[in-house]
Structure 1
Amino acid sequence: MSQFNYDLAFSRNQGITTGEQQTRLKNATFAIAGMGGVGGDYLITLARVGVGNFKISDFDEFEMGNFNRQYGATMSTVGHDKMAVMQKLALDINPEATITTYGTGIHENNVDDFLTGVDVFVDAVEFFEIGVHRLILNACRTRGIPAVLGVPMGFGVGVLVFTPEGMSFDDYFDIDYQAPLGLQALKMALAAAPAGFHLKYIQPDAFDLDSRKAPSIASGCKLATGIVITKAILALLHPHELKPIPHYICYDARINRLKNGYLWNGNRNPLQRLKFFIARKKLGI
């Protein structure tokens, strides 16, 4: 069996990263909440970049319904803890990495511990767990931790960067937390991917927001990984290059469209309010 050698394992990063930057990646701590649709892929990609320390969370097990998109979902992992499976895979790439696990998910009782010592947070929380997104991203803002959120939409993705200099989660999404879950999810989806490229081909009846159901496909999740992890690396190595919300990125590979946009006033933007009204009518919620 070969002996692990960090410098050799990640030597092909050189030229894209410098030796000093690779050392920073090795010493950095990235937190990822969620090991499912995109979170597992985020972990593996960051492990291959050479990140040396992780904090990860999940409380779910793999099931067959995950096969179309989740990195760790295979016949041999059905019924197995997602976090344990992904931890093992990441350590098989970099046995020297430290991975701290949170098997009850992230909540008010452990969010402080989860974010202690973290350099960058990558949000892979289940989309419909809006309160958890809010909890962690607001906590990151308080602590000055940059965060990246990617939401796969069909064959594309919407990507948002959160920093203390940008808008807050609450100001950007403008969600009424007393409203039904479907309306909260609609608000979040409209601001996560304001360009709406996916709406040109996804059938409206594929969404059942109140039942927490939305279509997904592996290639859209892979696009999310590529863009989100690039932004997460930039947050550590080149933070001046980041454009936080209300800036956004939308890319769709099916229609080959890219938009680097600026959503003035977030969901309070008059055009967003109109989109919300029309979408409610179409979805019947």
Structure 2
Amino acid sequence: MYKKLGGSMGDFNWSEEYQRFIGRNDGIITPEQQEKLRKSTACVFGMGGIGSPAFEVLVRAGIGKFKIVDNDVYDASNMNRQIFANIDTIGKKKILVAKEVAQKINPEIAIECYERIEEKNINKILSKADVILLAIDELKPCLIISRAARKMKVPVVEGWALPFGNVRTFTEDTPQLEEAYGLQTLGKEISNFSDEELRRMGTELLFSLGKIEGIADYYSDEVIERVASGIIPSFAPMAWLTSVLMANEALKILLNIGCIAKGPDFTIYDPYMHRIPSIGS
């Protein structure tokens, strides 16, 4: 028999379906916290190997509103790690598949889908957002998102598909993302830089993650050459580990609980050696 969450359910305008859906959250979070999630809006940029599992975790936590952004379609190479990728979704838009899956989990969910990230539409995308998950590896949109988020005082949760689980959050009280990476774009108009310059900086940024203890051990010289050409290997365990860390970070932010992994340093875990790696300068 279904057991209602403790506390007065009359305090919240929840349907019976929503109560059944989130009932097993009881004992981990309170009804008041659940209501906070139901009323919250999360923006997830990227429905790939990291973004899509993080999105599903947040959907299942009971967050009521989402804005999701991706302009790609599924192909066979996505099936090794992307949670919504299968033979039936190949060729379909990732954001539309993600929306369909989410609505089957929580039919009351509200989702806005966007395909493009531009300076002229970023304020609309981030409007009323409570938290942002940054799960894309192209530099220009990351700059657009992080700058707008800073102005709008919306926390940005970031993670990379490294062999190690990792997460960090940028807020109005932390250094900017561009400061953390030492990017020469800091304080300058994005339009001052060509697409080629931004691509080069993005590659350099990616290689800078090699200063984390033990990371380089997982990549051969051949793989490093492929990364430099834009072909980045990814593996489901490492992508999903980071996804869960990012989703949990977003939930902590929304509920104001726990310790936030504030930038510029990553909170990072090596699941292969069961250690916390050091991060070189």
TM-score w.r.t. length of structure 2: 0.85
Q: Distance in 1 between matches of 2:130 and 2:198?
A: 34
Q: How does 1:68-217 map to 2 (within 5 A)?
A: 68-103=80-115, 105-125=116-136, 127=137, 129-154=138-163, 156-176=164-184, 179=197, 181-191=199-209, 194-207=211-224, 208-217=226-235
Q: CA deviation at 1:88?
A: 0.2
Q: CA deviation at 1:210?
A: 3.8
Aligned partners of 1:32 and 1:122 also within 8 Å: yes
Match of 1:15 in 2: 27
Q: Distance in 2 between matches of 1:118 and 1:221?
A: 24
Aligned partners of 1:30 and 1:120 also within 8 Å: yes
Q: CA deviation at 1:182?
A: 4.3
Q: CA deviation at 1:58?
A: 1.0
Deviations 1:168-196 (A, max 9, x none): 011111124664734532324525x7524
Give the number of equivalent residue pairs: 256
Aligned partners of 2:181 and 2:205 also within 8 Å: yes
Q: Distance in 2 between matches of 1:47 and 1:215?
A: 27
SS at the partner of 2:234? coil
Worse-matched range after superposition: 219-228 or 195-204: 195-204
**Superposition RMSD in Å:** 2.1
Deviations 1:206-248 (A, max 9, x none): 1334421121100001101111111110111126731411232
Aligned partners of 1:175 and 1:184 also within 8 Å: no
Aligned partners of 2:65 and 2:110 also within 8 Å: yes
SS at the partner of 2:133? strand
Match of 1:38 in 2: 50
Gaps of 5+ in 1: 264-270, 273-285
Q: Distance in 1 between matches of 2:182 and 2:142?
A: 14
Gaps of 5+ in 2: 1-14, 186-192
Q: CA deviation at 1:23?
A: 0.2
SS at the partner of 1:99? strand
Q: Distance in 2 between matches of 1:7 and 1:197?
A: 45
Aligned partners of 2:261 and 2:267 also within 8 Å: no
Q: CA deviation at 1:89?
A: 0.3
